[in-house]
Structure 1
């Protein structure tokens, strides 16, 4: 039996369907948030006066750049997480909709799909 798992991005503010992931930085920390088109537009509009008055600086080199890059999730990793969550739910395993997937569940999923 074939299975098709679809990943649905959810707006982190209001729970509606998200169309994009927006990355931004503040006080030396990098952030990423999934937003609907309207909330992404609202965020950009709210930040616009500050961005217009700010100086753009080059990306940091070295450890800081590597550290921020390590936190970014690719679409592929999101799809894999969604597949693991869907599989765990089908198996009756307790798993949250968000957050880190327990290693034991990842290990079981990988063993079942070898």
Structure 2
């Protein structure tokens, strides 16, 4: 035997069929309410004077984020840094045994390869 389950949205204000679930937030609390088109419009109209003077602090529109590069294994970094330091000394650069290698030395190494 087959069953058919139907879910009907009902307006939380007046019990009529609802067309939308409207999300909003107030005092740090998020709310969702099911509303008919008329009640959704009424809610948006009531909030318009406040929203038009408010600062947006979040929401659905997100900033474009570049995907992160996969981290290279640490041993590869150590081997590369050792190779850069050795090459730099052979080329007459002064470079320490530890710490960050100056960008101009790394760039010169990359250009030489």
Q: What is the TM-score of this pair, normalised by structure 1?
A: 0.50
Superposed CA offset, 1:65-95 (max 9, x none): xxxxxxxxxxxxxxxxxxxxxxxxxxxxxxx
SS in 2 for 1:53: coil
For 2:25 and 2:13, locate their aligned partners in 1 and report how far apart those are by CA, in whole Å. Answer: 18
For 2:10 and 2:57, locate their aligned partners in 1 and report how far apart those are by CA, in whole Å. Answer: 31
Query: Of the two structures, which has the highest relative contact order with CA contacts closer than 8 Å and spacing of 6 or more?
Result: 1
TM-align CA RMSD: 0.9
**Runs of 4+ residues over 4 Å off in structure 1:** none
- Choose 1 or 2 for highest CA Rg: 2
After the TM superposition, which residues 1-114 of structure 1 pair with which residues of structure 2 at under 5 Å, given as runs?
1-58=1-58
Shift of 1:29: 0.4
Shift of 1:31: 0.3
For 1:11 and 1:57, locate their aligned partners in 2 and report how far apart those are by CA, in whole Å. Answer: 28
The alignment covers a number of residue pairs equal to: 59
Q: In proportion to residue count, which structure has more helix?
A: 1
For 1:31 and 1:2, locate their aligned partners in 2 and report how far apart those are by CA, in whole Å. Answer: 36
Shift of 1:58: 2.7
Q: Gaps spanning 5+ residues in structure 2: where?
A: 60-113
Shift of 1:32: 0.4
Superposed CA offset, 1:5-36 (max 9, x none): 11000100000000110000000100000000
